[in-house]
Amino acid sequence: MRVLIDKKDIGFFFESLKEENTVYGVKQKEPGFYVFDEAETFSDPLDKYTPTLLPPKKYLFPQKETLLKFSTTPSLKVKQLIEFKKQVIFGVRPCDIHGIKLLDKVFTTDHEDKNYTQKRANTIIIGIDCMKPCYKYAYCESVGCLDVEDGFDVLLTDMGDCFYALIGTAQGEAIIRKNARFINANKSDDEKIKCMKEERRGLFENKFATDISNLPLLFKNADNDPVWDELNDRCLGCGRCNIVCPTCYCFDVFDCVDLNMSSGERCRQWDACTLKDFAVVATGENFRSTRGQRLRHRFNRKFNYLMTKHNTSFCVGCGRCSRSCPVKIDVVETVNAVVNNRKTK
Ligand code: SF4
Ligand code: SF4
């Protein structure tokens, strides 16, 4: 099903979703910088949009959450905590929808992570298509994430006076029927959308120098590439690139014991593989003690290990890490340096 929603009615749609859900939308934090936050009104910046500082994964996999509470007196009691609420994330771009799809895989493969899956099951995703490169760091086209076919409930495309709304799920259809004023789209609208999407091809100048499918083998053979020594000297080991990434999902688990020493809670908190202590084990050994080793690991996670396991890139090309890095370490430059160094071998 696909429908048209007049732009003057998008506020009505947004408002009516708030009747049964907490609605998060995109807000400008300061000129040029955007965040997802609880929103009163529809405020997606559309053409002026650059990826939010943090991706919307924070509503599905919070930076810190309590997993269980425990007490030891008079007898041991453990209570699992899984918190969720009905929520809508409004204005999710295709790269971030791909990011959520990857987290869906991670948190359901081998073992279901109910703290994630319960939040995900209660979340409605309203996407907004991108009609041009949003900023110089984006390379979503290179990793196959410019377009998205599922993972959303509704995907809006800006057609000027109205939004073309592609419905992705039964839940999406239900909220459109209940909450939106719309008319059905016709074949000429479908054609117009197809042409608009075709016109974007080739607009992305930031791209990999090889097809994404070549990357797992390339990185597998690049353990001794000189690029890791160069990055070792530049990287600060600050972890920012991990924290802003929509597909990074590592976390640390720790117990906070109350002063009475008989109760407390077990929490998890985002961790970052570029931090110095990430790979320290009980004996004190650190398997990745240098910054170059840790960055090599991070690139292998995105383009080799997880890509091989799940058969898809684990980078969605949002460019957040390149934008956030204080010493301007750039993913595309790094991948292309590895590609070129392999060619000269
Ligand atoms: S590695 Fe960088 S560009 Fe890729 S998804 Fe993560 S933050 Fe975005
Ligand atoms: S943001 Fe840059 S400096 Fe910080 S850990 Fe990542 S690559 Fe290194």
pLDDT tens for 29-59 read 998 899 999 988 887 666 778 999 999 999 9
Ligand 2 site-directed mutation target among 294, 320, 327, 331, most atoms within 8 Å of CB: 327
- The CA–CA distances, whole Å, from 295 to 51, 61, 248, 299 equal 23, 23, 13, 6
The CB of 239 under 6 Å from ligand 2? The reply is yes
The pLDDT assigned to 49 comes to 81
Cis peptide before 74 (omega within 30 of 0): yes
- Distance of alpha carbon 116 from the chain centroid: 14
Rounded to whole angstroms, how far apart are CA atoms 321 and 174? 36
The pLDDT assigned to 150 comes to 97
The pLDDT assigned to 39 comes to 87
Check: CB of residue 206 under 8 Å from CB of residue 136.
Answer: yes
Q: Which two tokens stand for residue 19?
A: 């009747």
The pLDDT assigned to 343 comes to 79
Give Rg (Cα) of the chain: 22
Nearest Cα to Cα of residue 42 among 96, 97, 1, 5: 5
Rounded to whole angstroms, how far apart are CA atoms 331 and 192? 34
Interior/surface letters 274-293, b for 16+ CB within 10 angstroms, e for the rest: bbeebeeeeeeeeebebbbb
The pLDDT assigned to 190 comes to 96
Pick left, alpha or beta for residue 21 (phi over 0 → left; psi -120 to 50 → alpha; otherwise beta).
beta
Query: How many CA atoms are closer than 13 Å to the CA of 54, on its beta-carbon side?
Result: 13
Nearest Cα to Cα of residue 212 among 146, 277, 260: 146
- Distance of alpha carbon 49 from the chain centroid: 16
The CB of 125 under 6 Å from ligand 1? The reply is no
Provide CB contacts within 8 A for 209, sequence distance 6+.
335, 336, 339, 340
Ligand nearest to the CA of 329: 2
Dihedral angle at the C-alpha atoms of 216, 235, 344, 311, nearest 10 degrees? 10
The pLDDT assigned to 45 comes to 67
Rounded to whole angstroms, how far apart are CA atoms 175 and 153? 9
The DSSP code for 155 is E
Instruction: With a cut of 70, list the residues of the chain below it in pLDDT.
Output: 44-46, 344-345
Say how many Å lie between the CA of residue 304 and the centre of ligand 1: 14
For 122, the 3-state DSSP assignment is coil
Characterize the bridge pairing of strands 123-128 and 87-92. parallel
Edge-first strand listing for the sheet containing 154-158: 33-38, 22-30, 87-92, 123-128, 154-158, 162-167, 2-6, 183-184
Q: Which two tokens stand for residue 331?
A: 């993913």
Residue nearest to atom 6 of ligand 1 (CA): 245
Say how many Å lie between the CA of residue 324 and the centre of ligand 2: 8
Residue nearest to atom 4 of ligand 2 (CA): 238
For 284, the 3-state DSSP assignment is coil
Ligand nearest to the CA of 294: 2
